[in-house]
Structure 1
C-alpha cells in the first residue's frame, strides 16, 4: 500500500527524480539490447525508487532514468526540485544534471553512495544527503515543504538515526515501465560483516546485517509483478547470506510465493563463495528459482586473498565451491581484480587458467582502484601511492609497472572472451549446471512472445550477421535441435555483450576500472560519446 512520510507536508510540490547514466561495463549488457525489443536499460534504480516512495503522498513525483533518455527542458520547467542519486562512476553525469537544473533556477538535492562517502566531490549541489533513509531525509522533506528556493550556501544533511529497514516503504515501481529493464531490483538486507581492504560497503552500510521481514519482501515482489515486471529479479543485497538464518527464512517464503504464482520469475543475487558451505540455503535457492549468483572472488591466489583480508574465500578450495553451487543449478559469475600488491607478471596467465578450470562464463574484471575512505585508500595514502594522472585507469601506483598491469588485464580479456573460449564455457554450463535446475517454471504468453522475438534477433543478428557466427553455431545448433531454447536465449544475449564489450576493452575504448571516478580519467572519445549520447 502507499507509504507516507512521517513529515506532514503543507505544500504541494513537484519533484523530478533523475538517475544519471552509468558507465557501460561487463554487467550492463548494453551491446545486446538490440536483440531484445523493448529493453532500454539494465536495472531499475532502486535507491531513487525508495526515496520516491518515502516522499509525502500529496507531492507529485516524476522519475527519469537517463540510461533510457535524458530529462527534457519541459521536465525541468515542471519541477520544483530535482533529486539525484549516484555512484562514483556517475559523477560526471551528476554534475551535468546539476548544471542543467541550475540553468532553470531549480533546487538540486543529491543522495546516494558517492556523496555519502565523498561530499567534497559535489560542492555545487544545493543540498547533499549523506547516509541512508532516516532523520536526514525527514529534514530534507521539511526543507522542501517550506521552500524550493536555492540556498545561499550548500546545506549538508547527515543521517544519524537510520530508518529501520523493516520500515522501508515499498519502492515506487509504478514510476517506471519495468518492461523496459533487463532486470528489476529488490533488496532484502543491508550491510556486510566482512572487511575486504578495497571495499566501501561496511563504511556505508555497516558490518551488522539488517534484514527485512519475509512478508515485506514478498509485498515488494507482488508490487513488481503488479507493475509489469517480468524478471529476472536481482537481489542487490551486499551479501545475500550475510545472515544465514534470515536468508533461510526469506527463501522459505520465496519458495511458497513461487508455488503460488507458477514459478514465473527467476532470481539473481550476490553472495560470498562460502555460499557453497550452506547446502540448506542452496537447496531452497534451487527451489525458489535462483539462476545465478555473483561472487567476489577477486583473485585465485591465496596470498592475495589473505593480503586483502578476504580469507573467507579460502574456507574451501574455490573451484570445489563453484562446482558445488553449479550442482544446484546456479551459475556462478565472478569479480576479478588486477593490480594487487601480490600480483606478478604471471598473474594474467594464472587468472586465465582459473577461468578455464572454473568454467565461469561471466566475469567482471577490473583494475584495482582505491575508493576514498576505504582501508586500501588510507594505506596507500600513507605510503604515498595515490596517483592523480588523467591518463591512467587507476589512481594507484601498483607494485608492478602500470603498463604491465594494464597489458595483463587486456591479455586476459582477449583470451577469456574470445568467442571460442567463452562459448566453450557456456557449453560446459549446459551440461553441468543448467540441467540441475527445477523445471517447474511455466512460461506465460508474454514470455513466449518475448522469447520468440529474442530468438529471432539472436539467430539473425548473431547466427547470420556476426563475425563469430561459426563458433556460435557449433554450440547453439545442437541446443536448438534438442529444444533447449531458454539456454539459447541466455547464451546468445549474455555472450554477445561480453564478446563485444571485451573487444572494446582490449582496443582501448573503455576504461579498465568500471567503479572508479570518471572525473579523474581521460576517456577515449568514442567512449565519451557513448556516455553522453
Structure 2
C-alpha cells in the first residue's frame, strides 16, 4: 500500500433516534436542528495532523451524501449503541462505494466483535490510540485494531474544532473538564472506561475550549459533559473561579449545565461557586427512593443523608435538578412504581429521566447477572422503550414493563408535570437573593421566538388548558424567571409527545408500527455527543 500523506478524512456522526434527550420537539420552537454537536468528532478532528484534511458530517443536522463518501480516502465513524442501525447503514454505503472505514466510540469499544465491515477499529481514549493509527496510515500500513488501557493526561488534549461545524444549527455546545468518577455504581461502565481517579484539565486549558466555542459566535447553553463534574472538588473549585471571571469579562454569554453526584449539596462553597459561574442546571443520578436498591447497586453516596434534603438545597441555590431514576433493581418492591411517582413529585423535578435497568457490557451488574445465568441478550442501550429487558428480573418482567409504562404516563401527564414546575418555581431563591449576572442578562431573541411559538402552538394542543394555566400562574408567581417558565413549558411538549408515541393510551392505534415508539435512555444521550473517548466514548451516568 502506498503512503497516505495528504489524505481526506470524512468524520461521520450517525443519526440519533428520537429520545427524551434529543429534544426534537423543542428544537422546532427555537429554530435548531440538533441539541449538541458531536464533541468526540470535533476533538478527533483537532488530533489530526495538518497533512490530513478533515470534514465532519453530522447526520443529525444534514444528510450524508454518496458523493461525500466517495470523495474521502477514509470515513471515520463514532457511534453509541443507540446509533447502531444508522452506523451499520453508513458502513454498508462505504463498502458499496469502496471507501475504507475506521470506527471508534462507545459502541465499537464495547462490541467491536459484533460489528462487520469496519477496516480499522480505533478504540478507547483517542489521545492514545489515534496517533498510532495515524502513524501507520501515513506509512501505508494501517492495522485492523488499535486498543490501549492507558489513561492519557488531559493537559495534552487539543481544543475541539468547533470551527468545522455550523454552530448556529445547535442548541447547546459541549465541553469537557474531566474524565473518570470516584464512585463505582454496579450498573455504570464509567470506571471501566475512564478509571476511578478523575483526571482534569488545567483551568486555562478549559477556558481555551470556552474561547473556541465563543469564537464561532455561539451563545446560550454550554454543557460540561463530565460524568461527574465534581469528582475532584479541589480542582473543580479552582476551575469555577476562573470560569466566573471569564463569564464576567465576556458578559455571561453561556448558561452552564453539567452532571454531578448528590454530594454537591454537601459542600456550600462548591455550590456557591457554581452559582457564581453561571450554572442553571445539574443532572443527578437519584435512581430510587428504596434504600435497599441503592445499597445493592453500590450507590452509597445517595445514602449519606436524605436525598430530599440535598436536592432541595441545590434547588434553593437557584440550580434546577434534572434526575435519573431506575426501575428494575433486584431489591425493588412491588410498589416501586407508585413510590417513584410520589418521589419525583415530592422532589419537584420536572425533567425526570426514568429508565428500566439494563445490564450494559463492562459493568459489575453485567458480570454478576452473567454468573447467575440471568442474562438474556447484550443490551441495546435502550432502557426507556419499555419493550424488553436484557436480563431475568426478580419482579415478573410483564409487571415491570407495565408498571414502567404507567410511571412515565403519570409523570408526564400535563397537570402533574406543570404542578412540579410551579413547585420548583416556588423553591427557587427570591429575586433579591439571585446573583447579579442572572438579573442583568437580557432576554435573547431565540427565547422570545420560543415564547411566541409556544403560545401559538401549545395553546391549541391537547393539553392547552393546562398549559395556559401554568404559563399564567408561573409568570405571575415568578415574573423574574419568565424565561425559565417558558423553557419548562416548551420542554413539556417534547416529553409529552415522546411519551405518548412510546406508550400510546390503551386502545390507541400505534402508527408506523414501532418505528417512532422506541425512545432511548438518558444514558445514551450522555454517550452520544458528549463523551471524549476516541470518536466518542461510552454510556452511562453521573455518580
Structure 2-normalised TM-score?
0.88
Matching residue of 2:72: 79
**1:504 and 2:501 equivalent?**
yes
- Cα offsets for 1:361-390 (capped at 9, x unmatched): 001111111111211111111111111499
Matching residue of 1:313: 302
**1:489 and 2:482 equivalent?**
no
**1:24 and 2:18 equivalent?**
yes
Aligned pairs (5 A) from 1:68-147: 68-147=61-140
Q: Secondary structure at the match of 1:109?
A: strand
Between the two structures, name the one with larger relative contact order (CA 8 Å, sep ≥ 6).
2
Aligned pairs (5 A) from 1:438-517: 438-441=435-438, 448-463=444-459, 465-480=460-475, 482=479, 484-507=481-504, 510-511=517-518, 514=521
Q: Secondary structure at the match of 1:361?
A: coil
Q: 1:101 to 1:312 in 2, by over 3 A?
A: same
What's the offset of the Cα at 1:168?
0.2
- Cα offsets for 1:334-376 (capped at 9, x unmatched): 1111111111220000001101210100011111111112111
Structure 2: segments with no counterpart, 5+ residues: 381-385, 505-513, 525-543
Matching residue of 1:63: 56
- Cα offsets for 1:127-152 (capped at 9, x unmatched): 0012102342112112332349xx8x
- Cα offsets for 1:192-233 (capped at 9, x unmatched): 111111111110111110000001111100110111222210
- Cα offsets for 1:270-292 (capped at 9, x unmatched): 00111100111100001111000
Q: How many residues align?
A: 502
Alignment partner for residue 30 of structure 2, among 20, 36, 48? 36
What's the offset of the Cα at 1:179?
1.8
Q: Secondary structure at the match of 1:134?
A: helix
Matching residue of 1:526: none
**1:198 and 2:187 equivalent?**
yes
Within 2, Cα distance between the matches of 1:511 and 1:50? 30
Within 1, Cα distance between the matches of 2:231 and 2:481? 35
Matching residue of 1:425: 420
Equivalent pair of 1:295/1:333 in contact (CA under 8 Å): yes
What's the offset of the Cα at 1:504?
2.1
What's the offset of the Cα at 1:452?
2.2
Q: 1:209 to 1:516 in 2, by over 3 A?
A: closer
Within 2, Cα distance between the matches of 1:512 and 1:136? 33
Matching residue of 2:316: 327
Within 2, Cα distance between the matches of 1:160 and 1:396? 28
- Cα offsets for 1:64-122 (capped at 9, x unmatched): 11112221112112111001111121122211111111111111001112222222122
Within 1, Cα distance between the matches of 2:236 and 2:277? 12
Structure 1-normalised TM-score?
0.90
Q: Secondary structure at the match of 2:220?
A: coil
Q: 1:363 to 1:434 in 2, by over 3 A?
A: farther
Aligned pairs (5 A) from 1:381-392: 381-388=370-377, 392=387
Within 1, Cα distance between the matches of 2:344 and 2:517? 22
Within 2, Cα distance between the matches of 1:443 and 1:159? 48
Equivalent pair of 2:338/2:407 in contact (CA under 8 Å): yes
Q: Secondary structure at the match of 2:254?
A: coil
Segment of structure 1 superposing worse, 395-404 or 87-96: 87-96
- Cα offsets for 1:155-195 (capped at 9, x unmatched): 01012544321110000101111121121100000001111
Structure 1: segments with no counterpart, 5+ residues: 1-8, 518-533
